[in-house]
Amino acid sequence: MMDLNINKDLLPMKAHYFLWNAGLAPVIPFIPIYARQLGFSSLAVGTIYTFLPIFSLVSKPFFGAVADHFRLQKMLFLTFQIITALVFFNIQFIPELVKSTDLMMDCDSLTYFKKCGIGPVDHVTLAKLQAEETISCKVMCDVTDSSFYEELCAQWRAPQFCFSALHQKPPSNKSTQIIPFQAQLAMTHTIQDESCLFFRVHNVVFPDSSSHVPYCNNLSSVLCSVDCRSSGVITEVITRNSPDESATSSYQFWIIFFLLIFSTTASSSVISVGDTICFKMLGDKPQRFGHQRLWGAIGWGMLSILAGYLIDKFSSGHVTKNYMPIFYLSTIMIILDMVASSRLKYSQAILSASIVRDVGRLLSELRVVIFLLCCIFIGLSTGLLWQFLFWHLEDISTDVDQPWMKTLEGLVMGIRCFGGELPFFFLSGRILKMIGHIHAMSLVLAAFSIRFFLYAALTNPWWCLPIELLQGITYGIFYTAMASYANIAAPPGTEATVQGLVGAVFEGVGMSLGSLLGGVLYNMYGGGRAFLIYAITSLILFIAHVLVQYFLSKSPQHKILSNGMTTIYTSPKDAISTIEEFDEIN
């Protein structure tokens, strides 16, 4: 059992990890696909998530230093929780991008609606379109060419337009006439030619209920507004913006961008300062950190499953998903966290004489620099995973309507937490004691390689569920190793600064580049190849890391004197032994 002898002083800390992660889980994983529904492309989402971690890179060490210098750790901790709750709640009010539904209708021996300029459509999306068989769309065509009325009269056999054809002009005083009808699209005949998609029109029905076969003796083209709300797949495709179209031209882009900047700055500071407070409250038992942090996995797992279910439940009968419940759920959880966090019995005692000098000396140690480089690449992998895995799952699904997709995505996060993170957070202290922080990083790199190879091979989204068990290594072991290494290496009085620095390297550098590169690769090659490229890169870096650490293990250990204190920089076998060595020296 966990924590047989319950430390009541640590209960608010456990409550914080549970409620804080329960507040993040309903929103953070769904923001990329929510942005997709608003009309943003993968490149636009990748761009947003490229810049967001940069603000984390700056804010984490900055506010960590402010908290250390002015002894404001707890106050900043609570303040940033409030900001995060306010920002998350307001994301739901961002309006959708204006989506053009204008298509050219080419009428010849066969009639097609044509959508061009969207770049190549992946084979999975094309297969989904072709699997829909026949769908009905509302159409409004702007007719300016009088010859088209001849085709309507003679070839479509629509007598109501024969008068216009005879007089060679539209039946009104206007230069343009709007012609409404229902178009039956034979989706099995959908074809792609370079950057254009062609949707076959096999029948049309006018408002007077007359049905006609669209055929033209001479090629005629008219611009039509097409509404196919009965099909989510074709709606997503025909409203897709051109890849050349700049996302920054829309005010919606800047609204979501700045809201996410505030939420990233605030939430990342809560995480780094919260971990610092936790280690300080643990005192001489840092190996118990995983036992506190696992409550975050429980909170994330429970609420992510609930969030996915609620989205599907509230979206029943609608083509688009209703994300409203998750924003209210998130706000409630974070407010409860503020109440629990206010009861933390914690006060900051030690103050560094020179935070910049002490941290600068820390960064001069080669082993620490290599550890930070590992954090960067793991951030790269995490950026791709968090931002684009759900896109990949939706793209490989052959189910057109996907009424279960958000439930599956909730289960993905639930298994990550309960099957992966929970047991590994609990065992993290023992694992780090057994293999050490450095070997733990090698293990994480190897696990990412295996995980991405499996994602690249997926053909059925449900098979991703067992893959999520690897989250225990790629996040549970990594996060504990990263946080405990930072706590061990930090000179006294710089704990929040160093935690912020390590977290900023992981998020601000790694996840930033990962989101950008992931968005570019996804846009160019699709999800499968993007994950394959990352898998191969992870394997290469795993081998390189093992070799570098082997040669470094033959070099002597280093000591750096800082402010009268001695800090050891080695390849620690575990947090306990390193602190014991530190105590013996001092």
Answer whether residue 570 shows pLDDT above 80: no
Q: What DSSP state is assigned to residue 120?
A: P
Q: Which of 279, 510, 243 is nearest to 372 (CA)?
A: 510
Report the pLDDT value the prediction gives residue 175, as an integer from 0 to 100: 55
Report the pLDDT value the prediction gives residue 279, as an integer from 0 to 100: 81
CA dihedral 14, 19, 24, 30 (to 10 degrees): 120
Report the pLDDT value the prediction gives residue 56, as an integer from 0 to 100: 73
Report the pLDDT value the prediction gives residue 508, as an integer from 0 to 100: 73
Mean pLDDT of the chain: 80
Report the pLDDT value the prediction gives residue 412, as an integer from 0 to 100: 87
The answer to whether 36 touches 405, Cβ cutoff 8 Å, is no
In the chain, what percentage of residues exceed pLDDT 90?
A: 22
Taking residue 471's Cβ as centre, other Cβ atoms within 10 Å add up to 25
Q: Of 164-178, 363-377, 525-539, 568-582, which gets the smallest average pLDDT?
A: 568-582
Which of 257-261, 274-278, 384-388, 397-401 tops mean pLDDT?
Answer: 257-261
Distance CA 217, CA 220 (A): 9
Answer whether residue 107 shows pLDDT above 90: yes
Report the pLDDT value the prediction gives residue 86, as an integer from 0 to 100: 93
Which of 96-110, 190-204, 347-361 tops mean pLDDT?
Answer: 190-204
Which backbone phi and psi does 265 adopt, to 5 degrees? -60, -45
Answer whether residue 97 shows pLDDT above 80: no
Residue 433 corresponds to which tokens in the numbers above? 């004691």
The answer to whether 572 touches 371, Cβ cutoff 8 Å, is no
Q: Which of 540, 542, 518, 538 is nearest to 530 (CA)?
A: 518
The answer to whether 337 touches 15, Cβ cutoff 8 Å, is yes
Give the angle 353-359-362 at the CA atoms, nearest 5°. 125
Q: Which of the pair, 81 or 524, is modelled with greater confidence?
A: 81
pTM as predicted: 0.67
The answer to whether 92 touches 338, Cβ cutoff 8 Å, is no
Q: Of 186-195, 438-447, 536-545, which gets the smallest average pLDDT?
A: 186-195
Which backbone phi and psi does 566 adopt, to 5 degrees? -110, 130
The answer to whether 238 touches 232, Cβ cutoff 8 Å, is no
Report the pLDDT value the prediction gives residue 305, as an integer from 0 to 100: 82
Report the pLDDT value the prediction gives residue 349, as an integer from 0 to 100: 57
**What are the residues facing 143 on neighbouring strands?**
177
Report the pLDDT value the prediction gives residue 387, as an integer from 0 to 100: 78
Crossing angle for the helix pair 512-525 and 366-396, to the nearest 10 degrees:
40
For 463-504, write each residue's pLDDT tens digit: 999 999 999 999 889 988 888 888 777 776 676 677 777 877
pLDDT band at 372 (very low <50, low <70, confident <90, very high): confident
Mean pLDDT of 358-377: 80
Q: Which of the pair, 187 or 44, is modelled with greater confidence?
A: 187
Structural domains of the chain in order of their starting residue, each with its CATH number = 8-97+246-345+355-585 (1.20.1250.20), 102-238 (no CATH)
Distance CA 61, CA 56 (A): 9
Distance CA 576, CA 574 (A): 6
Which of 455-464, 517-526, 567-576 tops mean pLDDT?
Answer: 455-464
Residues 6+ apart with CB under 8 A from 185: 113, 134, 135, 136, 137, 199, 200, 201, 202, 228, 234
Answer whether residue 566 shows pLDDT above 50: no
pLDDT band at 176 (very low <50, low <70, confident <90, very high): low
In the chain, what percentage of residues exceed pLDDT 70?
A: 82
